[in-house]
Amino acid sequence: MAVPLAFFALFFAYPVAAIVGRGIKTDEGWQFGRIGEVLTRPDIADVLWFTTWQACASTALTLLIALPGAYVFARFEFPGKQLLRAVVTVPFVLPTVVVGTAFLALVGQGGLLDELWGVRLDTTVWAILLAHVFFNYAVVVRTVGGLWAQLDPRQEEAARVLGAGRFAAWRRVTLPALGPAVAAASLMVFLFTFTSFGVVQILGGPSYATLEVEVYRQTAQLLDLPTAAVLTMVQFVAVGLILGIHAWTVRRRETALRLVDPARTAHRPSGPGQRALLGGVLLTVALLIVAPLVVLVERSLDAPGGYGFGFYRALQDAGAGGGTFLVPPLEAVWNSLQYALAATAIALLIGGLAAAALTRRGGRFVRGFDALLMLPLGVSAVTVGFGFLITLDEPPLDLRTSWILVPLAQALVGVPFVVRTMLPVLRAVDGRLREAAAVLGASPLRAWREVDLPLVRRALLIAAGFAFAVSLGEFGATVFIARPDRPTLPVAVARLLGRAGEMNYGQAMALSTILMLVCAVSLLVLERLRPDKTSGEF
Amino acid sequence: MSTTKKIAGAALAAALGVSTLAACGGGKKDEGSAASGSPKSKTVTLVSHDSFNVTDTVLKEFEQQSGYTVKVLKSGDAGAALNQEILTKGSPRGDVFFGVDNTLLSRALDNGIFTPYESKGLADVKPEFVLDKEHRVTPIDSGDICVNYDKAYFADKKLAPPQTLDDLVKPEYKNLLVTENAATSSPGLGFLLASVGKYGEDGWKDYWTKLKANGVEVVDGWEQAYNQRFSGSAGGKKAKGDRPLVVSYASSPPAEVLYGEPQPAEAPTGVATGTCFRQVEFAGLLKGAKNEEGGKALIDFMVSKKFQEDMPLQMFVNPVTKDAKLPELFTKHGVVVEKPETVAPETIAKNREQWVKAWSSLVVK
């Protein structure tokens, strides 16, 4: 418990507090009056209003579109299911720089919708909402679907035998059991859309800004630290509230349900109704999730002189001809992998320790700690990045120009995923097994190796894979601290997109595709490792 | 409890193992320079924005001649990079900062992040670029933010492309221009300042009212404007961009040629030379620099002929020294902007925020 606490205090709480403090405290002391001042500004009120309602709308739309998907993934058996489940998760870990571009190609001008029906959604709020569905589809499918797959269908059947109608049985039996999972998923989607940054920046145009976008503008562009500090605090309170409710629903979900092996509940769809449902979900996934990804791949292959791997080959040559990039873009792939590996190790260490501590202790303090670990998901990367700058500036912690800062920042985002994945599994390990081993003469180390390790190994691997994928795609914090001689993949993509010319654009698309593939492969490996009996939240 | 410790121990061991591995791969370059047995002051650190670039061989030559090893830190766009310097004032991450331009110069100078240094090469710099008489900053490059046009579009329509700011509000160019948000994008701000330079502090709002009535579209950043919406760029063509006019740089046409595959004989885009705002970028020695001597040498190097002539193809900007020659790509496909609009840095500093706010409520809302 001490290690993760110290980690969070040093690399999260302290930097964030320092940068917020810098905004609110002047030479004349604390300026709490500024809070009211900022909050009553009409432009800020607009931002708050937009942030809230678009998050509500995005969450509702995501649930509407993804819940049928959750059902289909939970209850139906169909070829390619594992692959498809990995595919729908890809957007979740892709950097928005990449996806925004692909998404624009679909709903933007000259996109698929435009060509078919003359509908253009870019710079409208619909583009933002749809992109949010795209990003968060997997959250619902995994959180709700994971539980749905394990609900015993016989309970519903029993209710029907006792005379309940099909709908009444579902409403009285299945819905209450699913309720907490739906609530937890909704809150996660709400959290992610409330703090949305890249999507709103790229698709929303200048007239839309969320709190997160505004914090970025105020900090990075205008250097208006007081305003940024107040907005950060507002976001902090909101996120804290969301996480509080989330922790509460999660606890409710952990109350005993009769869970069964998902393999027993899933079946091939039968009858026209079920087939239509499956078809509808597959079509939605194809249009909403696969299509933008395909556009990305298509653009990366659309090299001058016909389709081919021209841009990919150029990736290898770039940089060799005089350092237009200081590093060849392919080296960025290697950099990303190294950073992600280090970040995963840190996230596993911190997250694993935290999950272990949370398993073994109860009480309000621990629950608070649980929520604390999730906070980095809801705090602006620019706040953390700038906080690092002004706090980690003295030996022995002058890490501002050290490579370790990148994996540290990425690990902050990875830890919540590790905790969420490990916690249910660790809680399920029966202490009596360990005692039995001890009675039989095993040393504590041996008991751990023989009992705990086999049980948590898969969860550990899944957590590692998730942290790895999230680290790979992390962009916000990295862009401020990535060393130029070692840019990560998303940073290299952004740099390529920042220059005129066909080769730059094409290479950005090719690099994005590579990033997407790396993410997809690590997720596919996770699918293979998914434990049968227990499922984490993701 | 003991299990917790065990898991912790194993995880720690694993983490350390991986970190060490990563460190081996990651730290190689540093170790190389440290292992050469030289003291710390042999490294000079340049802090800059994401667009900074220099040819490897040119930098190596400087390193060999001066004996310094150059480390470059890039952090975000120009505005974000400067703000980070202001935040770390007194305890800078490097010795020299490069990338503050005339639109942000006053913010840097008012915050006092630079130590004055009169570079040896300053005599070669064209005097119109020397905007700080105390030499806290040294001009390094200049570039023009201008409206670019899609040559093919105007040829097809048998319409003459616009040349001046006045042209842009004419009915024949209705719904053709896309520009960037002046609040978040430096070309966007540059274009706003071009209108201020041309029509004055009183007249620019009128101009933008007309421009808005004529269908100007505003997007958040240069990438969207240029790569998505502009029909003349390689990216825009693929994205089926429908705006043949975009606010970009005078050096964008040469870039379209250089990064074409195969390189076209002629640039697909042109520049409306009567719509330009001139940007000048500066470098300065950071106050509290650990290696002042190295920093000074680095600034001298940046105004040297070698670096100045390397810049155009690396950063798509123009040299500021008198004798630096432009590469053929620029002389052939670029344009010389004779009379760019300018606004004094002090005037910009005094009014920037209020102009951007007024602009936002006029154009964006």
Q: Do A389 and B84 touch (CB under 8 A)?
A: yes
Question: Which of A484-493, B15-24, B308-317 is the least confident region?
Answer: B15-24
Best residue of A101, A221, A301, A393 to probe chain B, by most B CBs closer than 10 Å = A221
Quickly count: other Cβ atoms within 10 Å of residue B189's Cβ: 27
**Confidence at residue B78, expressed as pLDDT on a 0 to 100 scale:** 83
Best residue of B71, B113, B186, B259 to probe chain A, by most A CBs closer than 10 Å = B259
User: DSSP characters for B65-114?
Assistant: HH-PEEEEEE-SSHHHHHHHHHHTTTS-SSSEEEEEETTTHHHHHHTT-E
Mean pLDDT of B23-47: 53
CA–CA separation, A494 vs A505, rounded Å? 10
Mean pLDDT of B300-320: 93
CB A495 within 8 A of CB A342: no
For residue B144, what are the β-bridge partners?
A: B278
Q: Does A4 touch chain B (CB under 8 A)?
A: no
- The answer, yes or no, to whether residue B31 has pLDDT greater than 50, is no
| Cβ-based contacts of B238 with chain A (< 8 Å) | 299, 302, 505
**Confidence at residue A534, expressed as pLDDT on a 0 to 100 scale:** 45
CA–CA separation, A132 vs A130, rounded Å? 5
> Which residue in chain A is spatially nearest to B248 when comparing CA positions?
A500
Amino acid at site A416: P
Beta strands in A261-409 (DSSP E): none
Q: Does A337 touch chain B (CB under 8 A)?
A: no
Q: Do B252 and A324 touch (CB under 8 A)?
A: no
What mean pLDDT value characterizes chain A? 79
Q: Do B220 and A386 touch (CB under 8 A)?
A: no
How many Å lie between the alpha carbon of B299 and the closest alpha carbon of chain A? 19
Q: Which residue has the higher pLDDT, A337 or B14?
A: A337
Cβ-nearest to B50 among A3, A342, A498: A498
Q: Do B29 and A485 touch (CB under 8 A)?
A: yes
- The answer, yes or no, to whether residue A310 has pLDDT greater than 70, is yes
> Which residue in chain A is spatially nearest to B226 when comparing CA positions?
A500
Q: Do A105 and B239 touch (CB under 8 A)?
A: yes
Q: Does A324 touch chain B (CB under 8 A)?
A: yes
Cβ-nearest to A501 among B50, B51, B234: B234
Q: What share of chain A is helix, strand, coil (3-state, %, to 5)?
A: 75, 0, 20
Which stretch, A218-222, A451-455, B198-202, has highest mean pLDDT? B198-202
Best residue of B192, B261, B263, B360 to probe chain A, by most A CBs closer than 10 Å = B261
> Which residue in chain A is spatially nearest to B85 when comparing CA positions?
A389
Amino acid at site A454: P
CA–CA separation, A164 vs A180, rounded Å? 23
Mean pLDDT of B341-361: 90
Peptide bond into A95 cis (omega under 30): no
* E strand or H helix at A26: strand A25-26
Mean pLDDT of A266-272: 79
Q: Does A380 touch chain B (CB under 8 A)?
A: no
Q: Do B45 and A345 touch (CB under 8 A)?
A: no
Q: What is the pTM of this model?
A: 0.79
Q: Which residue has the higher pLDDT, A246 or A340?
A: A340
- The answer, yes or no, to whether residue B14 has pLDDT greater than 70, is no
- pLDDT band of residue B13 (cuts 50, 70, 90) is very low
Best residue of A97, A121, A326 to probe chain B, by most B CBs closer than 10 Å = A326
| Cβ-based contacts of A109 with chain B (< 8 Å) | 228-229, 239-242
Q: Does A506 touch chain B (CB under 8 A)?
A: yes
Q: Do A341 and B18 touch (CB under 8 A)?
A: yes
**Confidence at residue A254, expressed as pLDDT on a 0 to 100 scale:** 56
How many Å lie between the alpha carbon of A100 and the closest alpha carbon of chain B? 10
- The answer, yes or no, to whether residue A414 has pLDDT greater than 80, is yes
CA–CA separation, A124 vs A184, rounded Å? 28
Query: What percentage of chain A reaches a pLDDT higher than 70?
Result: 85
Q: Do A221 and B316 touch (CB under 8 A)?
A: no
Q: Which residue has the higher pLDDT, A451 or A256?
A: A451
**Chain A window 215-244: which residues touch B at a Cβ cutoff of 8 Å?**
217, 219-223
Q: Which residue has the higher pLDDT, A479 or B88?
A: B88
Nearest to A345 by CA among B359, B328, B320, B22: B22
- The answer, yes or no, to whether residue B28 has pLDDT greater than 70, is no
| Cβ-based contacts of A434 with chain B (< 8 Å) | 3
What is the torsional sign of CA B123, B129, B134, B140?
A: negative
Mean pLDDT of B62-68: 94
Size of interface A-B (CB pairs under 8 A): 235
Q: Do B54 and A323 touch (CB under 8 A)?
A: yes
Quickly count: other Cβ atoms within 10 Å of residue B65's Cβ: 11
Name the 3-class secondary structure at B44: strand
Q: Which two tokens stand for residue B293?
A: 């001597």
How many Å lie between the alpha carbon of B92 and the closest alpha carbon of chain A? 9
Kind of pairing between the strands at B269-286 and B318-319: unpaired
> Which residue in chain A is spatially nearest to B74 when comparing CA positions?
A484
- The answer, yes or no, to whether residue B67 has pLDDT greater than 70, is yes
User: DSSP characters for A65-131?
Assistant: HHHHHHHHHHHB--TTHHHHHHHHHHHHHS-HHHHHHHHHHHHSTTSHHHHHH----TTSHHHHHHH
Nearest to B125 by CA among B108, B109, B142, B113: B142
| Cβ-based contacts of B231 with chain A (< 8 Å) | none
CA–CA separation, A144 vs B226, rounded Å? 41
- The answer, yes or no, to whether residue B27 has pLDDT greater than 50, is no
**Confidence at residue B279, expressed as pLDDT on a 0 to 100 scale:** 94
Mean pLDDT of A466-474: 80
| Cβ-based contacts of B353 with chain A (< 8 Å) | 222
**Confidence at residue A219, expressed as pLDDT on a 0 to 100 scale:** 84
Q: Do A390 and B88 touch (CB under 8 A)?
A: yes
Q: Do B84 and A386 touch (CB under 8 A)?
A: yes
- The answer, yes or no, to whether residue A268 has pLDDT greater than 90, is no
**Confidence at residue A517, expressed as pLDDT on a 0 to 100 scale:** 84
> Which residue in chain B is spatially nearest to A102 when comparing CA positions?
B239
Mean pLDDT of B226-231: 88
